[in-house]
Amino acid sequence: MPRVKRSTKRNDRRKKILERASGYFLTKSKLYQAAQEAVERGLKFAYTGRKQKKRQFRSLWIVRISAACKLNNFSYSQLINGLKKAGIELDRKILSDIAIQDAAGFTALVEKAKATLAAEVKAA
């Protein structure tokens, strides 16, 4: 069986890790083993960070919608409930964008939700 020394493959792998670790502090950017540990750790945090980003943005949109609802003397939960019952299917990202960009349009949505909830109360 032929002998394999792995020179180019090993060097390529090491170079890739050290390039990813450039900018890390002290030995984490210079020595292969420390760099490898730091890069793996960083990739782990990057993976979880991509999941957390989605949660944080949804939370931000809800806060913005809630603040716009308070300006219209309405609550966030009532708005979402009223819009669902009215058959208006807008996600929270779009609702928060409307609340920021178009206050009159958001007020119209709030009025529609109020009317739907009031009609439901009268029917019951």
* pLDDT reported for residue 85: 96
- 97 belongs to a structural domain: yes
* pLDDT reported for residue 42: 97
- Mind listing the pLDDT tens digit for each residue in 30-65? 999 999 999 999 999 999 999 999 999 999 999 999
- 102 belongs to a structural domain: yes
- 3 belongs to a structural domain: no
Total tally of structural domains belonging to the chain: 1
Mean pLDDT, the chain, whole residue set: 96
- 1 belongs to a structural domain: no
Q: How far is CA 117 from the centre of its chain?
A: 31
- 44 belongs to a structural domain: yes
The pTM of the full predicted model, rounded to 2 decimals, is 0.81
3-state per-residue secondary structure call for the chain: CCCCCCHHHHHHHHHHHHHHCCCCCHHHHCCHHHHHHHHHHHHHHHHHHHHHHHHHHHHHHHHHHHHHHHHCCCCHHHHHHHHHHHCCCCCHHHHHHHHHHCHHHHHHHHHHHHHHHHHHHHHC
Which residues form the domain of 66?
A: 8-123
Q: Residue 81 maps to which CATH number?
A: 1.10.1900.20
